[in-house]
Amino acid sequence: MTSVFLVSPHHMLHTCLLSSVKYTLAFTTIATPPSEDEAAILSSLILNSDQQPLIQIFNTKSVCWTPDLVNKILKRLWNHGPKAIQFFNLLERHPTYTHSAESFDHTIDIAARLRNYKTVWALVARMRKRRIGPNPKTFAIITERYVSAGKPDKAVKVFLSMHEYGCQQDLNSFNTFIDVLCKSRRVEMAYNLFKVLKKRFRADTISYNIIANGFCLIKRTPRALEVLREMVESGLEPNLKTYNVILNGYFKSGQVKEAWRFFMEMKRRKCMMDVVTYTTVVHGFGVAGEIQKARQVFNEMLDVGILPSVASYNAFIQVLCKKDNVENAIVVFDEMLKKGYTPNSTTYNVVIRGLCHVGKMDRAMEYLDKMKLDKCDPNVQTYNVIIRYYCDEGEIEKGLEVFETMGSGECLPNLDTYNVLISGMFGRKRSDDLIVAGKLLIEMVDRGFVPRKFTFNRILNGLLLTGNQDFANEILRVQSRCGRLPRHFRL
C-alpha cells in the first residue's frame, strides 16, 4: 500500500537536504534574488524537519534570508498552515533578519484560513509594535477570511474599526470591502452598507460597478440595472467596465438574447469595446452551447483589431472542451502557441480536465509533463483534477502516486485533494483502503484542515464495519481534538 504519511522526518532525507541547502544557498552578494529552486529546497526541509533542526538551519550563515525568499516559502507552505506559521515564528528569532509587512500579511492570511483568530490578532499587534502595519491589505485579508468563514457581521465590525489600529478607512478600502462581500454572495449586506456609507466615502463609479456586479453574480440583473440608474442620478458616468458588468450579468442569468441585444447596442453606440467585452461574449455563447456564435465573435475580435488575451483563449478553449470537442480545443491551444502566446496554468488545467473527462488520462499526463517543461508550475487545481478522474475510474493507486508527488513539496494538497481521495477509498470498500482513508484524515488535520463531520463519521463507520476498532478509537480522538463533537460509538 502506498504510504500517505509524507511529512514525518527522515534522517537521511534531512541530511541530504541540509547539505543541498548549504551548497545551493552559498551566496556572494545579498542583492542576488532567490530562485524558485532555493525556495523549493528550503520548503522541503521545513516540511520534513522538527523544530530543533530548523532553528539550526535558520541560524546558519549559508542561508541569505530575504523577504522575497521568505514569501516564496510561505506560498509553498500555503496548504500546510501549522508548518508555515511555525516557520514564520521561528525565523522571527533570527538575529539579523526582520519580517516584512508582506510576510506578516501572508502569515495572517494562513492563520485566518485556519480560523486561528488568536494568532491573527497577535500578528496584527506585532505589526503595530514594529510600525510596519497593519495596512489596508491586511484588513482586506482579515475581512475576506471572516466572510468566507460565515462571519460577515464580524467582518463589518473589523472594517469599521480599522482606524483603531492606526489604519484609516478610505474610498479604496471601502470599495475593497464591499467587493469582498459581493463576491461572497453577501450582496444585500454590501448594498445596505453601501447606502449608509456612500456619502461618507464619496462613492465613485467603481463602487457602483462593484454593487452592480454583485447582483449580476447572483443572477439579479434587474437589480444591477437599478443600481446603475442610481449611479447616473448621482451624477456619475457609466464606463466600459459598467457595460461589461451588465453584459456578463445577462449571460450569467441565461438571458442570451438580451446579452446579444446589449452587445449590438454597444456597437451601435460606438462604445470603445475591449478584449474583456469580447471575451465575455465568447464565453457566454460557449456556455450556452452556441459554439458557432462563440467562434464567430472570437474571429470578429481579431477582425476589429483587438488582440485576444491569454484569458480570451482560455475562455474559448474551456467552452470547446465542455460543449464541443476536446480535440478542437487542442487545435486552438496549438494556434495560441504558434501566435506566440504563453499558456498559463488555467490554459493547461482546462485542456487537462477536458482530456480527463473523455477518459484520455495518458494524454492528460503528457500535458502535465509539457506544463512542467514550459516552466508553468502545476497548481493544486491541476493535481486535484487528475486525482479526481483517476479515483472515478477506480485507479486509486495512480491517484495516490500523484498525491505523493504533491506531498513531497512540489505543490501541497488542499482540503479538496483529501476529500477526493477519501471519497475514492470508499469506492472499492476494501479494509486496507479504509485504513488509508483514516491516515489521510489524520494527515489533513495535522496540516490544519478541519474535515466535515460527515467525513469523520463515514470513516468511523467504515472502520467499525471492517473490524478496525483500535484505529476507530484513534480517529475519535482526532475528531474530538478538532472540536467536532463525536458520535456516540460503543468501542
Tell me, yes or no, whether 232 lies in a domain.
no
Q: Which domain holds residue 20?
A: 1-98
Per-residue pLDDT, 386:
96
Q: Is the pLDDT of residue 487 over 70?
A: no
Specify whether the CB–CB gap between 97 and 118 falls below 8 A.
no
Per-residue pLDDT, 242:
96
CA 406 to chain centre: 16
pLDDT in tens, 159-199: 999 999 999 999 999 999 999 999 999 999 999 999 999 99
Q: Is the pLDDT of residue 21 over 60?
A: no
Give the closest residue to 363 by CA, choosing from 337, 335, 341, 333: 333
Secondary structure in 3-state letters for the chain: CCCCCCCCCCHHHHHHHHHHHHHHCCCCCCCCCCCHHHHHHHHHHHHCCCHHHHHHHHHCCCCCCCHHHHHHHHHHCCCCHHHHHHHHHHHCCCCCCCCCHHHHHHHHHHHHHCCCHHHHHHHHHHHHHHCCCCCHHHHHHHHHHHHHCCCHHHHHHHHHCHHHHCCCCCHHHHHHHHHHHHHCCCHHHHHHHHHHHHHHHCCCHHHHHHHHHHHHHCCCHHHHHHHHHHHHHCCCCCCHHHHHHHHHHHHHCCCHHHHHHHHHHHHHCCCCCCHHHHHHHHHHHHHCCCHHHHHHHHHHHHHCCCCCCHHHHHHHHHHHHHHCCHHHHHHHHHHHHHCCCCCCHHHHHHHHHHHHHCCCHHHHHHHHHHHHHCCCCCCHHHHHHHHHHHHHCCCHHHHHHHHHHHHHHHCCCCHHHHHHHHHHHHHHCCHHHHHHHHHHHHHHHHCCCCCCHHHHHHHHHHHHHCCCHHHHHHHHHHHHHCCCCCCCCCC
Which residues, 6 or more positions from 330, have their beta carbon under 8 angstroms from its beta carbon? 351
Count of Cβ atoms closer than 10 Å to residue 393 Cβ: 15
pLDDT in tens, 269-290: 888 899 999 999 999 999 999 9
Per-residue pLDDT, 24:
36
Specify whether the CB–CB gap between 9 and 444 falls below 8 A.
no
Specify whether the CB–CB gap between 157 and 193 falls below 8 A.
no
Specify whether the CB–CB gap between 387 and 396 falls below 8 A.
no
Number of domains in the chain: 1
Instruction: Return d(Cα 7, Cα 490) in angstroms, integer.
Output: 32
Q: Is residue 490 very low, low, confident or very high in pLDDT (cuts 50, 70, 90)?
A: very low
Tell me, yes or no, whether 485 lies in a domain.
no
pLDDT in tens, 207-263: 999 999 999 999 999 999 999 999 999 999 999 999 999 999 999 999 999 999 999
User: Which three three-digit cell numbers place residue 295?
Assistant: 467562434
Amino acid at 428: R
Specify whether the CB–CB gap between 143 and 109 falls below 8 A.
no
Give the closest residue to 282 by CA, choosing from 305, 302, 265: 302
Tell me, yes or no, whether 11 lies in a domain.
yes
Instruction: Return d(Cα 33, Cα 72) in angstroms, integer.
Output: 11
Q: Is residue 430 very low, low, confident or very high in pLDDT (cuts 50, 70, 90)?
A: confident
Phi, psi for 6 (deg, rounded to 5)? -110, -5
CA 421 to chain centre: 19
Q: Is the pLDDT of residue 441 over 50?
A: yes
Burial class (CB in 10 A: 0-12, 13-18, 19+), 159: buried
Q: How many alpha carbons lie under 13 Å from residue 140 in its C-beta half-sphere?
A: 16
Per-residue pLDDT, 210:
98
Q: Is the pLDDT of residue 484 over 60?
A: no
Per-residue pLDDT, 485:
42
User: Which three three-digit cell numbers place residue 365?
Assistant: 499526463
Tell me, yes or no, whether 140 lies in a domain.
no
Q: Is the pLDDT of residue 123 over 80?
A: yes
Q: Is the pLDDT of residue 30 over 80?
A: no
For the entire predicted model, the pTM comes to: 0.84
Instruction: Return d(Cα 60, Cα 305) in angstroms, integer.
Output: 56
Q: Does the CA dihedral 484-153-203-273 come out positive or negative?
A: positive
340: left (phi over 0), alpha (psi -120 to 50) or beta: left
Counting every residue written for the chain, the total comes to 491
Tell me, yes or no, whether 51 lies in a domain.
yes
Q: 487 versus 382: which is more confidently predicted? A: 382
Per-residue pLDDT, 230:
96
Tell me, yes or no, whether 4 lies in a domain.
yes
Instruction: Return d(Cα 358, Cα 352) in angstroms, integer.
Output: 10
Q: 137 versus 92: which is more confidently predicted? A: 137
Tell me, yes or no, whether 259 lies in a domain.
no
Tell me, yes or no, whether 403 lies in a domain.
no
Q: Is residue 489 very low, low, confident or very high in pLDDT (cuts 50, 70, 90)?
A: very low
Give the closest residue to 228 by CA, choosing from 258, 255, 208: 208
Q: Is the pLDDT of residue 2 over 50?
A: no
Instruction: Return d(Cα 115, Cα 428) in angstroms, integer.
Output: 34
